[in-house]
Amino acid sequence: MYSQFKNKVNKLMKNEDYKRITGNILSLFSLQGLTYLLPLITFPYLTRVLGPEKYGLIAFATAFIAYFQIFTDYGFNLSATREISINREDNVQLSKIFSSVIFSKFLLMIISFIIVSIVIFSIDKFKTNWILYYATFGLVIGNLLLPSWFFQGMEKMRYISILNIITSLLFTVSIFIFVRGANDYLYVPLINSVGAIIIGIIAIRIILKDFKIKLIIPSKEDIKAQLKNGWHIFVSTVAISFYTTSNVFVLGIFASTAIVGYYSAAERIIYMALGLFGPISQSLYPYISSIASKSKQNAANIVKKVTVYMTSFTFIISIVIFFTAGLILNILAGHQFDNSIIILRILSFLPLVVGLSNVFGVLFLFALGYSNRVSRVQAIVGVCYPLLLVPMTYYLKDIGTALSFLVVESIITLLFWKIYRNVINELKICSKE
């Protein structure tokens, strides 16, 4: 299967391009192997030491702060990646892009901190655990300092892999040292935040030193340009948050922290599975963006090939999780989380659904410059999603949340596929003309 894929893709790619992309994918898989192994150590430890209640409380705080991570990202993870990819040979332009994005994210982070403070001290549910939410907010600062979009655009993903490994190692060691019982739950977000900030500082230093990038004060026009470029992606990301981050957040409003813990444990396992095909997407996106800037037809042909193999890969993952859900949970979370088995089985179809959504949405539509079509679909579905999520969660609690998540992701994928087919037909017509 691999040799067939190699031969077909080689027809569309230059040999050196194929070697570089394959190298990036293999590098990410090998280097990130440790980042997936370490959570398999800490996840079982935390679920057993903290229990469903404290684990659910941390998950709720993380879901709340995630809104502000999304706000600070503002779509730069895709828009800035595309700009970096196109201008990778121009150091002056790279410095301009890097500086304007970092400064824009800093302003958004300040706004986020103000909003978080207002919420914490205005609502009793948040005021009770104010230290937890401030400790978790450090993730926003770390996210600001870690410019993954720069490394992705430069197709130097090994830097991200190495930094992620360092972060995971620091987190793992610290968890076993400081978290000894349920009362130590505050150390979990604190360790996460401190680690993220340290790694972010290291990443900035690497970019300034190794890539010869200069940090300059951007003009208002540059900042406005970055905000404008990331707008459609930001709208899409916010819409997506309604059916990702909002799941845990809404469940935390209507259910106990223990139930949130049951759902979060199952969702965590699913996200581990989704991470398996992340390196493929991360490595292919900048390349396809670069090819699309010259020939959309060639980029579309590459995506067609990727779709076949991504479908097979994610289908196998979904089937395995569905039939071994009980065993997976007993090994990873312990018998305290037996109530999560049905949730994991419902969510087990997500790797297949999300994998296809990623191919059609990110690798094709975003890379080829059709972000406005994607944003429109996600905005409409995202705005409508609470109409499904809220009543389903209110009446069925974690089961309702899981079913809502699966339904909305399936709808998104089907709509992306429809747009994908329309664009393919448009490109065929244009090529004939």
Q: Which residue range forms the structural domain that includes residue 240?
A: 2-432
Distance in Å from the first CA to the final CA of the chain:
35
At residue 288, the pLDDT reads 81
Alpha-carbon distance 200 to 180, whole Å? 28
Q: How many helices (H) and strands (E) does the chain have?
A: 19, 0
At residue 17, the pLDDT reads 59
At residue 114, the pLDDT reads 96
For 90, other C-beta atoms within 10 Å of its C-beta total 11
Burial label for 124, CB within 10 Å (0-12, 13-18, 19+), is exposed
210-260: per-residue pLDDT in tens? 888 888 888 888 888 888 887 777 877 777 777 777 899 999 999 999 999
Residues in contact with 186: Cβ distance below 8 Å, sequence separation at least 6, in sequence order: 131, 132, 135
367-412: per-residue pLDDT in tens? 787 877 887 888 888 889 999 999 999 999 999 999 999 999 999 9
At residue 370, the pLDDT reads 80
Name the 3-class secondary structure at 338. Answer: helix
Longest dimension (CA), the chain: 69
State the Cα torsion 316-319-321-322 to the nearest 10°.
Answer: 170
Alpha-carbon distance 145 to 281, whole Å? 22
pLDDT score of 2 more than 50: no
Structure tokens at 378: 């996600």
302-337: per-residue pLDDT in tens? 888 888 888 888 999 999 999 999 999 999 999 999
Alpha-carbon distance 32 to 157, whole Å? 10
- Whether the model clears a pTM of 0.85, i.e. scores above it, the answer is no
Angstrom CA distances, 151 to 29, 86, 99, 157, 419, stand at 16, 13, 14, 6, 29
Alpha-carbon distance 129 to 114, whole Å? 17
pLDDT interval class at 180 (50, 70, 90): very high
Q: DSSP letters of 244-300? A: THHHHHHHHHHS-HHHHHHHHHHHHHHHHHHGGGHHHHHHHHHHHHHHHTT-HHHHH
At residue 291, the pLDDT reads 80
Query: CB–CB of 133/189 below 8 Å?
Result: no
81-119: per-residue pLDDT in tens? 888 888 887 888 888 898 999 999 999 999 999 999 999
Name the 3-class secondary structure at 87. Answer: coil
Q: What is the DSSP letter of 52?
A: H
Query: CB–CB of 255/392 below 8 Å?
Result: no
As a three-state string, the secondary structure of 187-248 is HHHHHHHHHHHHHHHHHHHHHHHHCCCCCCCCCHHHHHHHHHHHHHHHHHHHHHHHCCHHHH
Q: Average pLDDT for residues 178-196, to the nearest whole number?
A: 94
Residue whose token pair is 């076949």:
308
pLDDT interval class at 174 (50, 70, 90): very high
Q: Which amino acid is at 404?
A: S
Q: Which amino acid is at 167?
A: T
Per-position b or e across 235-245, b if 16+ CB within 10 A of its CB: bbbbbbbbbbb
Question: How many angstroms from the chain centroid is the CA of residue 118?
Answer: 27
Alpha helices in 38-90 (DSSP H): 39-73, 76-86
At residue 210, the pLDDT reads 85
Query: CB–CB of 299/367 below 8 Å?
Result: yes
Q: What is the DSSP letter of 335?
A: G
Residue whose token pair is 């007993």:
330
Angstrom CA distances, 247 to 66, 67, 68, 267, stand at 12, 12, 16, 10
H-helix or E-strand spanning residue 104: helix 91-120
pLDDT score of 3 more than 70: no
Structurally, the chain folds into a number of domains equal to 1
Structure tokens at 295: 């020939």
Alpha-carbon distance 374 to 67, whole Å? 20
